[in-house]
């Protein structure tokens, strides 16, 4: 991975590696929330197969069970700005760690679908909160030249969590009809690790400075950049904060409106292009629509999907700070459209090999992971000024979860009405629309400090 401190943001040469190692440590601890995000959202893929059998769920009830977490994500993301701006990034993430643990154990012990859904909703609140504040926290502690890679650690953690969920589902599915309970309970362990890790890291220095706690913020910045550069960083943050109202009125002001539109659009495109139909319903798609595939084979195929997702997320981390955000977003969205076109062709060929259709899905997931996975999260964390960053990121992330909720809650219904290929045709068309939007509208943010992005946006 290409990790080097920006020349204008680093201290002495001798201290550069140590400072960067410290930032990587902070980002890694914060990114544990990404692992829990990925695990809790993807574990439903295997749980649903067993849950709908044990509780005899209809398609609608299955969609509700799958979507309850996502409703919580939407609500958590919507409230993240108020909590994060008032109590700070660190304390808010500690609260999310507690919610993660309570949710995993509550869902595992559920005796009815209603209790299961309520526990999952609580986990969604944790994910929504963390999905807004973790990228923001990492962006606020990162040197500009490394920010793309460091913020993408959160996306890497998400896909590792997804793969871990698929592996756990595959292995535990052999233990019987109640194995879904253990699939859910496992998440309590990383929740506890996340809680302990957060106790050992500092608050965001930019948040501290924006709240008038200058000496605390400068002390943290000095450890990251060195004392001399820390003073320059403090002045830059103070200057930026002085011109910001930090209110909801400011979020919707003409100066912020264009960035908010980009954040919302990218968040929405990352979901309405259909990726979570594969991540959440993959086992059902494979077992119901690919002839001759057993439950075990469907869960094993999910492991392959999760592995491809992980590999190409790592590729994205390598190139986001080299090639830039726009190039990868355009490559990803266009590639997703092509991959879904190939899948649609395969679904319309009589007795098409299951391997061919799986290969199309893998290509689709690979392109998503290359750009549309990490890209929107990164840009949302970069483009907003410090005092409104929490509020604006909350709006964009709430939009993302709204898209996820709509896609997840309607997928099985759409398949019944339009067929599987017709449903994926919609997602493929939206992928090409996304390509055009990025090409025409989205600017490049690579290599600029957060304050430079604020100063130059729209000029």
> At 158, is the secondary structure helix, strand, or coil?
helix
User: Is the pLDDT confidence value at 56 over 70?
Assistant: yes
For 64, counting Cβ atoms within 10 Å of its Cβ (0-12 exposed, 13-18 middle, 19+ buried), the class is middle
For residue 459, the model assigns a pLDDT of: 47
| Domain 13-456 is found in CATH 1.20.1630.10 | no
The mean of the pLDDT values for the chain is 84
Which tens digit of pLDDT belongs to each residue from 79-137? 888 898 889 999 999 999 999 999 999 999 998 888 999 999 999 999 999 988 998 89
The predicted pLDDT at position 207 comes to 86
Report the alpha-carbon distance of residue 73 to residue 124 in Å, rounded.
4
Token code pair at residue 164: 């871990």
Q: In angstroms, how far is the first alpha carbon of the chain from the final one?
A: 33
From the list 298, 450, 273, 301, the residue with the least C-alpha distance to 373 is: 273
What's the rounded Cα separation, in Å, for the pair 373 and 158? 10
Torsion of CA 44, 396, 368, 180, to 10 degrees: -10
Residue 64: its pLDDT value, please? 87
Place 453 in a pLDDT band, splitting at 50, 70 and 90. Answer: low
What is the token pair recorded at 416? 């019944």
pLDDT tens sequence across 349-383 = 877 777 788 899 999 999 999 999 888 888 887 88
Q: Residues 6 or more apart from 73 whose CB is under 8 A from it?
A: 124, 125, 127, 128, 131, 401, 404, 405
Distance CA 9, CA 119 (A): 44
Q: Where are the domains of the chain?
A: 13-456
pLDDT band at 49 (very low <50, low <70, confident <90, very high): confident
Q: Would you place residue 334 in the very low, low, confident or very high pLDDT band (cuts 50, 70, 90)?
A: very high
pTM of the model: 0.77
- Block residue for tokens 């492991």: 303
């Amino acid at each position: 991975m290409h990790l080097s401190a920006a020349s204008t943001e680093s201290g002495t040469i001798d201290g550069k590696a140590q400072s960067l190692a410290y930032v990587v440590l902070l980002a890694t601890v914060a990114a544990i929330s990404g692992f829990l995000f990925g695990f809790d959202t993807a574990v439903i893929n295997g749980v649903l197969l067993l849950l709908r059998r044990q509780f005899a769920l209809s398609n609608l009830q299955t969609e509700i069970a799958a979507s309850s977490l996502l409703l919580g994500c939407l609500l958590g993301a919507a409230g993240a700005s108020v909590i994060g701006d008032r109590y700070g990034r660190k304390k808010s993430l500690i609260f999310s760690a507690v919610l993660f643990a309570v949710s995993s154990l509550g869902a595992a012990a559920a005796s009815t679908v209603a209790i299961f859904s309520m526990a999952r909703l609580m986990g969604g609140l944790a994910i929504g909160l963390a999905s807004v504040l973790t990228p923001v926290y990492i962006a606020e502690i990162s040197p500009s030249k490394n920010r793309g890679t460091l913020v993408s650690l959160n996306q890497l953690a998400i896909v590792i969590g997804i793969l871990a969920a698929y592996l756990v589902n595959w292995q535990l599915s052999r233990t019987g009809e109640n194995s879904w309970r253990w699939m859910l309970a496992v998440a309590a362990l990383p929740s506890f690790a996340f809680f302990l890790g957060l106790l050992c890291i500092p608050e965001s220095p930019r948040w501290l400075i924006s709240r008038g706690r200058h000496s605390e913020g400068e002390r943290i910045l000095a450890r990251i950049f060195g004392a001399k550069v820390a003073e320059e960083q403090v002045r830059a943050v103070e200057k930026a904060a002085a011109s910001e109202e930090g209110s909801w009125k400011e979020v919707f002001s003409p100066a912020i409106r264009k960035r908010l539109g980009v954040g919302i659009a990218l968040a929405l495109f990352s979901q309405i292009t259909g990726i979570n139909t594969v991540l959440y319903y993959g086992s059902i798609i494979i077992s119901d629509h690919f002839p001759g595939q057993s439950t075990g084979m469907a869960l094993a195929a999910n492991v392959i999907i999760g592995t491809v997702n992980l590999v190409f997320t790592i590729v994205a981390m390598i190139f986001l700070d080299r090639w830039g955000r726009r190039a990868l977003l355009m490559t990803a969205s266009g590639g997703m459209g092509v991959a879904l076109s190939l899948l649609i062709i395969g679904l319309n060929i009589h007795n098409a090999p299951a391997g061919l259709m799986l290969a199309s899905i893998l290509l689709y997931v690979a392109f998503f992971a290359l750009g549309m996975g990490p890209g929107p999260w990164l840009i949302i964390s970069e483009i907003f000024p410090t005092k409104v960053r929490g509020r604006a990121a909350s709006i964009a992330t709430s939009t993302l979860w709204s898209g996820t909720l709509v896609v997840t809650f309607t997928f099985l219904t759409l398949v019944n009405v339009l067929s599987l290929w017709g449903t994926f045709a919609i997602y493929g068309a939206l992928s090409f629309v996304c390509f055009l939007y990025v090409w025409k509208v989205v600017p490049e943010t690579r290599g600029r400090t957060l304050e430079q992005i604020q100063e130059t946006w729209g000029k």
